[in-house]
Every structure is written in C-alpha cells, then in structure tokens.
C-alpha cells in the first residue's frame, strides 16, 4: 500500500507549491472547470460583485493563476494587477490577452505602496500561502481605508449528507481526475490542503486582527465553497498615489 503524500511544512511549502503550480499550469483551467462541475466561473463572478469592483478601481488579484478572476474584474473597467509566484501560471495568463498587468511576487511581500488599491481579491489561493496572517496584513496595508477584501475558497458542508457526498467527491474522485488528466501529486495535495485553512471563527479573527471589519461569509454550492468579504478599517493613511504610466 502506497504511503499517502505528506503536506509540506512551512519551511518547504513555498518551494513545493510553486513547483506544483508550474507543473499543472498547462491544464489548470480545464481541471478547474471539470472539478467544480463548471460552477467556478459563476463563483468568481459573485466575488467580483461582492468586491463592488467598477471602472477605474485598482484591483490586486492575489494568487491569480492563469487569470480567471483577473479577467472578470478587468471587464468592469478596473485596473487589475494579477500577482502570483508561479511563473508558468503567469505565462498562461499573459497568453490569454487579458487587459491586466502581471507581477511575479510573494503575496506576503507585495510590491505596491500602502493604500494603493481599492480591492484585493483572491480565488482559491488562501490555503496555498505559507502564512495566512502575513498575507492578510499585506492586503490591509495595500488597501485604502474602506477598501474591500474578497476571498473565494473551498469549504466543507455542514449538512451531514452533503458533507459525506462532498468528502467522497473531493477526497477520492478529484485526485483520480487530476491523476488522469494532469498531475497525480498536485491533485492529491488539493483535498489535503484544506487542513491549512482556519475554521470560520478563526479566519474571521485573523482578518479582523489584520485591520479589517464587517467580515461576512457566503456559502456556495451547499457549503462546498465560500466567499469571505471584509472592509479595510478606517484609521490608516489614505494616501492615494497617482497612476503610473509604467507597467508593474
């Protein structure tokens, strides 16, 4: 019997996750659609609406991958910057011709001035960050007071029947699909990576501790996924630098 892959610890996580996403980049979008039963883009559209993104807003998409969420935000007329530390993911985003800028960077050390952005969004990336508190603190730093933080993530249904069905699908079927169509190790990591996520109460505490208020959670698909929204609290500097003509 094969030993189950072990989740990387904090010291190795960044390198392991970066290499994994570089490997799966070519078929990432296809697997996202298949695994979510074609629901993921609808969830992203809800996230864009929850963030109140509109023309002229400055939006940072953390862990942007190949740009699905960035593309939807850009359609509103916002100035979008997608951030990811996996170079092959960003290469895939660039090939799509999305009207956005792309930055290869660690989400815990963002190359933006304080109070620069109107919204920070992230789609299914929170559990892949090495330090969630650090990323939340950086998100608060780059947001102006009143700016919006919106996170889409996986979740676990609370209903017993749905929870059991979800466990079978997410823990057994998803890794098999990933092994068949992409990368076995990466899609074995996917269901296990849920253990990196804090529960709802702890996540709310972390978000508030980082400098946010009005934290809310919307369950999706019976609790298989979630959208978490928060607002940058008042009291921070509200310096808004002028747009630069130089791309980031």
- 6 pLDDT band, cuts 50/70/90, is low
pLDDT at 22 over 90: yes
Write the pLDDT tens digit of every residue in 110-165.
Answer: 999 999 999 999 999 999 999 999 999 999 999 999 999 999 999 999 999 999 99
Domain locations in the chain?
Answer: 11-232
**187 Cβ contact list (under 8 Å, min separation 6):** 24, 31, 174, 175, 177, 178, 179
- 7 pLDDT band, cuts 50/70/90, is confident
pLDDT of residue 88: 98
Block residue for tokens 């699908």? 169
Q: Identify the residue with better confidence: 241 or 53.
A: 53
| Interatomic CA distance for residues 3 and 1, integer angstroms | 7
pLDDT of residue 235: 73
| Interatomic CA distance for residues 127 and 13, integer angstroms | 11
- Report whether CATH 3.40.50.2000 matches the domain 11-232: no
Write the pLDDT tens digit of every residue in 199-235.
Answer: 999 999 999 999 999 999 999 999 999 999 999 999 7
pLDDT at 2 over 50: no
Write the pLDDT tens digit of every residue in 76-109.
Answer: 999 999 999 999 999 999 999 999 999 999 999 9
pTM for the model? 0.91
């Amino acid at each position: 019997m094969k030993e189950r892959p072990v989740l990387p610890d904090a010291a190795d996580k960044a390198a392991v996750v970066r290499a994994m996403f570089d490997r799966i980049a070519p078929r990432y979008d296809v697997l996202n659609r298949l695994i979510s039963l074609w629901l993921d883009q609808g969830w992203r559209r809800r996230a864009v609406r929850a963030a109140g993104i509109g023309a002229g807003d400055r939006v940072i998409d953390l862990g942007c991958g190949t740009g699905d969420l960035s593309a939807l935000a850009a359609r509103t007329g916002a100035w979008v910057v997608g951030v990811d530390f996996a170079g092959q993911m960003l290469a895939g985003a660039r090939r799509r011709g999305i009207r956005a800028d792309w930055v290869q960077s660690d989400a815990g050390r963002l190359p933006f001035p304080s109070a620069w952005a109107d919204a920070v969004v992230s789609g299914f990336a929170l559990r892949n960050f090495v330090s969630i508190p650090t990323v939340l603190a950086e998100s608060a730093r780059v947001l102006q007071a009143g700016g919006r933080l919106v996170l889409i993530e996986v979740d676990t249904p609370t209903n017993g029947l749905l929870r059991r069905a979800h466990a079978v699908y997410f823990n057994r079927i998803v890794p098999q699909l990933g092994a068949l169509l992409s990368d076995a190790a990466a899609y074995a990591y996917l269901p296990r990576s849920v253990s990196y996520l804090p529960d709802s109460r702890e996540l709310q505490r972390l978000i508030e501790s980082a400098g946010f208020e009005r934290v809310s959670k919307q369950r999706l698909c019976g609790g298989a996924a979630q959208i978490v929204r928060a607002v940058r609290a008042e009291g921070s500097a509200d310096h808004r630098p002028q747009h630069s003509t130089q791309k980031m």
